[in-house]
Amino acid sequence: MKEIYKPLFEPFTLKNGVQLKNRIVMAPMTTFSANPDDTASDAELTYYAARSNGPAMVITACAYIQANGKGFEGQFAADRDTMIPSLRRVASSIKEKGSKAVLQLYHGGRLAVPHLIPNGETVSASSVAPRLDRGFYSIDKTPRSLSDEEVVELIKDFGEATRRAIEAGFDGVELHGATGYILQQFFSPHSNTRTDRWGGSLEKRLTFPLAVIEETKRVIAECALQPFIIGYRLTPEEPETPGITMNETFALLDTLVEAELDYIHMGITDFWSKPRRGVDSKQSRMELIAEYVGNRVPIIGVGSIHTPDEAVQALEQTGIPLIALGRELIVEPEWVEKVEQGNEKDIKTTVNPNDQALLQVPEPLWELMMNVKGWFPVENV
C-alpha cells in the first residue's frame, strides 16, 4: 500500500482489550431484507460476508429488542430466544471473514412503524409526535407515554437482547442512541417532557440511557466468557427547539465516558458538518467532539467519507482512532482490500444498475438504491 494510507491499517486496541486489525469499521445500515418471520435471510448473510474481509469491525443493521420497537420492513429481530439461531448465522457470516461482529440494538419508540407492530400503538418517553420527514417512512402518530414499569421492562429487554447476542457468538453490541430512536427520545428535551425520575432536568433525561448501559454491562459481566464490546451511537444535535444541542451532547459524552464504554460512534451524515447551536465555534462537530473527549474513550467518526485520502485526513485532522464507512462499502465491498493492496484507483464510486449480483446486495435494498433519488450515486446506463 502507499505510505500515506498506512495510518488506516495500524491495529487498535479497545478499552476492554479487544484488538482491531485496522481503523476501518463498517457502519450499521438497514437492509430491509430479512425473512417474513424476521430472521436473517440468506441474501443478508451473503451481503455481510462480501463486506467482512477488510474492515476490522462490522456493525450490523439495527435489530429490535421489543416487538413494538420495529422500525423497518424486513428487519431481523433480537427480541426473543427463538431468534438466536438467526443471529448466530449473522455473526458467523461476519466473523468467518475476519471482522469483529457487533450487533446494533435498538427500539424505534415513536419512530416504530405502526403497521409493523402489535396493535399499531407506538410508545415513547412522552406523548410527543415525531417530525414527518423521517427517511423512508412518514409517521404522524402521537405515541403513548411509557409507564414507569414499562420503562424498567424496556431496560431489561436491552439486557436480554445483549444476552442473545452473546449466545449467538457476536463480539459485541452497539446501543443505538442516534437517529431519533428510543434512547435519544429519552435524552431529548423535545421528545421527553416527563416530570418523573426519567425526565425533567438534563440529569434526569440521562437516567434512561445510563440505566440501559448499566444493564447491558451487567449482562456482559454475567454471561460473556471473554471480552465483549459495548459501544454507543449518538446523534450530536437535533433540529427542533427545544432539542439536543452540542452543549447537551457534551454532557452525554461525559456520562458515556464515565460508563467506561469501549467506543462512542457518531451518527452524522457529513463528517465535517458544523454545529447548529449551543457552541460558538467554527470547528466541525467531529472536531469539537474529538477535542472534548480526547483520549478518554475511542470515537468512531462517520459521514460521507468516500476515498482513502478523505479517511486519512479525518483521522489525522481530528485525532479520532476509527472511521466508519457506510454506503462506500455497499458501492465497493472490497474498499479496504483495494487500499491495502495498493489498488485504490480501482475503487468503485458509482453503482451500475446491472451489478446487483456482483455487489451481492439483497433485492429489497437494491430496489431502494435504484429508486430513491440521491441516496446512492447510480450510473445512467
Lookup: cell for 64: 429490535
Task: Provide the β-strand partners of residue 230.
Answer: 173
Lookup: cell for 186: 429519552
Lookup: cell for 96: 468467518
| Separation of alpha carbons 185 and 124, rounded Å | 7
Instruction: Tell me whether residue 379 is exposed, middle or buried, using C-beta atoms within 10 angstroms of its C-beta: 0 to 12, 13 to 18, 19 or more.
Output: exposed
Q: What is the 3-state secondary structure (H, E, C) of 164-192?
A: HHHHCCCCEEEEEECCCCHHHHHHCCCCC
Kindly provide the b/e burial profile for residues 5-36, where b requires at least 16 CB atoms within 10 angstroms of the residue's own CB: beebeeebebebebebbbbbbbbbbbbbbbee
CB atoms within 10 A of CB 130: 23
| Separation of alpha carbons 311 and 324, rounded Å | 9
CB atoms within 10 A of CB 169: 16
Tell me which residues are annotated as active site.
Answer: 181
3-state secondary structure of 314: helix
Residues in contact with 172: Cβ distance below 8 Å, sequence separation at least 6, in sequence order: 18, 100, 101, 102, 103, 165, 228, 229, 230, 231, 262
Lookup: cell for 100: 469483529
Tell me which H or E stretch contains 256: helix 246-258
